[in-house]
Amino acid sequence: MMAADSDPESEVFEITDFTTASEWERFVSRVEEVLNDWKLIGSSAGKLSPGKGEYTSGTWEEKCQEINFADFKFSITHHYLKQESDEGDGKEEPEEDAFPLAMQDLLCMNNDFPPRAHCLVRWYGMREFLVISPGANCEAIISESKCNLLFSSISISLANSGCQVPMFVQIQQKWRRMYAGECQGPGVRTDFEMVHLRKVPSQYNHLSGLLDIFKSKIGCSLIPLPPINIAIRFTYVLQDWQQYSWPQQPPDFDALLGGEVGGVEFGKLPFGACEDPISELHLATTWPHLTEGIVVDNDVYSDLDPLQAPHWSVRVRKAENPQCLLGDFLTEFFKLCCRKESTDEVLGRGLAEEEGKENSDISAALSKLTEPAAVPIPKLSVSNMVHSARKRIRRHRRVDESPLSTDMLNSILLYLFPDAAVEKSSQNGDSKTAQTNTNGKNEQDKDSDYNLFNQLKSAPSDSLSYRLALCVCLVNFYHGGMRAVAHLWQEFVLEMRYRWENNYLVYGLAGGPPDLRCCLLHQKLQMLNCCIERKRARDDARKATEGSKERERKVSGSCQNGRLGPEGMAATGPTTDLTREVSPGKLWDSWSDSEDEFFECLSDQEEMKEAMPAGGEKGGAKDISKVKPDGRLHTHGNMILLNSTEPLYIPVTQEPAPMTEDLLEEQSEVLAKLGTSAEGAHLRARMQSACLLSDMESFKAANPGCVLEDFVRWYSPRDYVEEEVVDEKGHTVVRGELSARMKIPGNMWVEAWETARATPARRQRRLFDDTKEAEKVLHYMSLQKPADLTRHLLPCILHAAILKLKEEESVEDIPSVKKAIQQATSHASKLLHHPSPDYKKLEDVINQLMAVEAVIARARSLKAKFGIGKGEKGEDAEELEKFVSALLEEPEVAVMGAGRGPAGSIIHRLFVSSQRVRQPLHAALLAPLDEDLGRVSGTENRKSMGGGHNVPDFPPPAGREILLRTCVPRPAAYSKALPQRLFCVMMREDFRLAGAFSSDTSFF
């Protein structure tokens, strides 16, 4: 039953499709649909003629759509120049009298030889056209029958739709750029035809032969023939620059590889192209308006002398991907980001053996601490033993196993840590050195370039992280690649540990907590510096306390009861501070890694007794008057305690713990995991109130007998509400009470106050455990692979590259380069602020920077060739600078004054110099180059080509283009006078004729 129903339907389908049964008719219909969809139906007249150079400066747009001829795919593309249409002028003219826009463009002379346009625009001068070409993976239309079928299709489509936009079909192989097409208007039609040959026929190798072709093709019987307008362009190519060698000085590889590198070389990225980034200069000599009788060009003689051409224009051909030093550095550095080897794997088996030795040496070092030995006790520290073990390891390492030589490594470390070359007179002097370094640079770099690190999340340009990035980049490129980077990083981490253990500040880092605007590695180094500062401050405070106690004992005669402890040792070794040995006060601190760590050990029985009442103050068992206040900073204005007449003192408090961005993120994740339950919220609040509890304990120690209200008045004044009230005696008094939020049951402040003991900051458990945090930082750094290191330092290298480009651009002053640098900086800023940057997009940023470097290199190449920058001044120098600047920005630049202008004279000399080199040596000797060669007449130039020892000033033209135009009645003498055009291209292995021949379809 279903089969019976389906049969009539299939028959009906065949019947309804019967009117467009053939694939050819379907194809024609589809083309017409596209023309309707794109609104290309009807008259195209009414637009103004394009202005001078508008084809180059204007915006070209295109639309594309796929259509099928049976199972063969075609794409139809609409190319057009975006113009401001002025419809007012066109509508006054009757449509039947107006030629289609394309036919008007055939005779327009404003845009002959456009430097950057579709080939059909150059050949036919049209501002709008359609192209039907085979699909991407389809074979070319080669057979004559298929070509004719397509021609018929477009002709019918244009006639049916009334479209006046010319339509072309691409035939033959694509590389041949062969097109045939048609344009239809009211009573007129233009046929576009093309000839393409490998060799130029001898009879058509000059203007007179091409005029014969043109005349025979238009077949005009009028006598005299209407004048033919001729435009000619010869293009000469300069490839051999001869004496104008590329000015870039190559880097001194011997000095770099030999290790003779100073801070200046380490602190700078290289710049410039290793080869000339300008490969060719193309000189186009143009005769824009000629007629047949004015110029002679045949097989025996030619008037077309390039020096006599009224218009010269120049374009430069850029070397493809020129090798540039900065680009190579960035590329090689970026490649490391994708590697996965660890430091141990990179440095190989030799290092693993060394690590085994190191472990045994260090374990032996630890055992030495417990052995009886006649060594001064201050020398028996963990850091001293470990450091001496490392020294032994380095001594045993064979030279061939080290990617970096000792001299090279020392010079790098000296550049990274210049303070190591100066003997430290005191630790205070060390601190001062680190601070003056950064402050001095800040004064020098107050401009936006210095703050570029904020945009790129890198590090300040005078910081250790920035210098480390430059050294890693240099070492990677010149001194052994990844192995050298791993070696340098290993030594860097050892230096960091040495500085931590010996209380030396890390040089080149700004003081204060980690700067979250910088890269994570820079934050880690700042965190290590914070740890060193805290440890030094604690050691100094302990020494001062121990010194004062020692003096008290000597005065009271208690020195006879002295004990062997920190106090005794402090007196024996205060002078060790001058050398790179660990300070005696540090010995006791090295073991304080537990959470119950205090700022100061209570080694004195009396101090412990004094501390007891303060600790038991909460219960109120002791008399408050007997409690001794401790840890006072200064009074808080005129405030007094609420429950006594004592002034309110601000206590000495612990500073909050500094944190890096990864620790902040880790903390926020832990707090988020506690959930939103009441218990989770309570636990979260307790975790966040550690600093509050510490401050409360300090406040209680400084203000015995205080209450929560006293603390709130100092700590959070807005939570203590005061108001004026009248007391029982009628006096107006001010009374205060806690705010509403402080009275909420279960308030965290109340709970913390009740649990807080009266403990001064120096005896509290540390909020910031510098020992633990420093070890975490050092452990984190030791785990970083070379790839991890390069990812950390990539923002700094991009920062350095952008600064280098800005520095080089400021010399050249190229507007497009400034804009490109800004765009690259903005792009990099967005990517680097993301928690996980997209390294594929970062590679695009590096490519942008490489392109900028190439543009600056091209500018320098052109300036060298045109003699700019030699101290010459005047109008000619200004004109040359404008000319060179335009060459970089524009596809083709007109030469002011043609061959007689300042730029034209230099170009002429360049060609003459190149010609002398190409000729045999004896000819060059007989015709020496005259520096003042400038204005050689056309006849002299022609004579020089004839014979003798003279050398022509210019080589044979690499390309000749001749454009012939006229307006004649065709096909009959009584037909309308219509535009005819022939564009001829003659090259060494290419001969092309592109003709547009119009005919009258009404009177023929």
Q: How would residue 24 be classed by pLDDT, with cut points 50, 70 and 90?
A: confident
Phi, psi (5° rounding) for residue 620? 75, 15
Q: To the nearest whole percent, how much of the chain has pLDDT over 90?
A: 17
3-state SS record for 411-433:
HHHHHHCHHHHCCCCCHHHHHHH
Could you tell me if residue 609 is left (phi over 0), alpha (psi between -120 and 50 degrees) or otherwise beta? alpha
H or E element in which residue 747 lies: none
Give the whole-angstrom CA distance, residue 796 versus residue 791. Answer: 10
DSSP strands (E only) in 778-898: 893-895
Phi, psi (5° rounding) for residue 20? -120, 55
For the ranges 173-187, 388-402, 580-594, 891-905, which has the lowest average pLDDT? 580-594
Q: Are 787 and 339 in contact (CB under 8 A)?
A: yes
Q: How would residue 195 be classed by pLDDT, with cut points 50, 70 and 90?
A: very high
Nearest by Cα to 124 from 193, 59, 186:
193
What would the two tokens of residue 56 be? 């180059």
Query: Dihedral sign, CA of 459, 465, 468, 472?
Result: negative
**232 CB-near residues (< 8 Å, 6+ apart):** 207, 286, 287, 290, 295, 304, 960, 961, 962, 963
Give the whole-angstrom CA distance, residue 453 versus residue 459. Answer: 5
pLDDT of 183 above 90 = yes
Give the whole-angstrom CA distance, residue 418 versus residue 440. Answer: 15
199 vs 957, 967, 986, 988, CA distance in Å?
15, 30, 9, 7
What would the two tokens of residue 901 be? 């202008």
Q: Are 270 and 478 in contact (CB under 8 A)?
A: no
Give the whole-angstrom CA distance, residue 546 versus residue 542. Answer: 6
DSSP three-state, residue 9:
helix
H or E element in which residue 491 lies: helix 481-501
Mean pLDDT of the chain: 76
Buried-exposed string 314-333: b where 16+ CB fall within 10 A, e elsewhere: bbbebbeebebbbbebbeeb
776 vs 56, 362, 769, 839, CA distance in Å?
62, 20, 11, 28
Q: Amino acid letter at 267?
A: G
Query: Across the strands, what pairs with 238?
Result: 281
**989 CB-near residues (< 8 Å, 6+ apart):** 198, 199
pLDDT of 293 above 90 = no
DSSP strands (E only) in 827-958: 893-895
Q: To the nearest whole percent, how much of the chain has pLDDT over 70?
A: 72
The count of other CB atoms within 10 Å of the CB of residue 287 is 19
Q: Which residue has the higher pLDDT, 46 or 877?
A: 877
**40 CB-near residues (< 8 Å, 6+ apart):** 78, 130, 161, 163, 165
Q: Are 550 and 567 in contact (CB under 8 A)?
A: yes
The count of other CB atoms within 10 Å of the CB of residue 401 is 15
Average pLDDT over every residue of 844-873: 83
User: Looking at the chain, how many residues does it have?
Assistant: 1004
Give the whole-angstrom CA distance, residue 568 versus residue 589. Answer: 16
pLDDT of 279 above 60 = yes
Please return the burial class of 217, using the count of CB atoms within 10 Å of its CB with bins 0-12, 13-18 and 19+: middle
Average pLDDT over every residue of 278-301: 89
Max Cα–Cα distance, the chain, nearest Å = 138
Give the whole-angstrom CA distance, residue 202 versus residue 209. Answer: 9
Q: How would residue 870 be classed by pLDDT, with cut points 50, 70 and 90?
A: low
Give the whole-angstrom CA distance, residue 150 versus residue 704. Answer: 104
Give the pLDDT confidence of 406-416 residue by residue, as tens digits: 888 888 888 88
pLDDT of 214 above 70 = yes
DSSP three-state, residue 5:
helix
Give the pLDDT confidence of 540-556 residue by residue, as tens digits: 878 887 777 777 676 55
Average pLDDT over every residue of 691-706: 87
Give the helix ranges, DSSP H, for 182-262.
207-218, 253-257
H or E element in which residue 34 lies: helix 23-37
What would the two tokens of residue 821 be? 């640098």
**677 CB-near residues (< 8 Å, 6+ apart):** none
Give the helix ranges, DSSP H, for 38-177.
54-57, 87-90, 101-107, 119-124, 144-161
pLDDT at site 755: 83
* ∠ Cα 983 989 992 (to 5°): 20
pLDDT at site 97: 63
Q: Are 675 and 684 in contact (CB under 8 A)?
A: no
Q: Report CA 972 to chain centroid distance, whole Å.
A: 65
DSSP three-state, residue 646:
coil
Q: Are 429 and 776 in contact (CB under 8 A)?
A: no
pLDDT of 354 above 60 = no
pLDDT of 880 above 50 = yes
What would the two tokens of residue 38 be? 């794109």
For the ranges 207-221, 580-594, 661-675, 912-926, which has the lowest average pLDDT? 580-594
**259 CB-near residues (< 8 Å, 6+ apart):** 405, 407, 408, 411
**121 CB-near residues (< 8 Å, 6+ apart):** 55, 79, 114, 127
Give the whole-angstrom CA distance, residue 803 versus residue 460. Answer: 12
pLDDT of 237 above 60 = yes
Q: Are 102 and 978 in contact (CB under 8 A)?
A: no
pLDDT of 791 above 80 = yes
Q: Which residue has the higher pLDDT, 19 or 830?
A: 830
* ∠ Cα 33 34 36 (to 5°): 65
Give the pLDDT confidence of 98-153 residue by residue, as tens digits: 788 889 899 998 889 998 889 999 999 999 999 999 988 888 888 889 899 999 99
Place of tokens 């805290």: 534
Q: How would residue 620 be classed by pLDDT, with cut points 50, 70 and 90?
A: very low
648 vs 606, 720, 737, 927, CA distance in Å?
27, 15, 17, 102
Give the whole-angstrom CA distance, residue 110 versus residue 289. Answer: 11
Give the whole-angstrom CA distance, residue 469 versus residue 804. Answer: 14
Q: What is the DSSP letter of 766?
A: P
Q: What one-character-per-residue DSSP string does 675-695 give?
A: -SSHHHHHHHHHHHTHHHHHH
DSSP three-state, residue 259:
coil
Place of tokens 């204007």: 58
pLDDT at site 388: 52
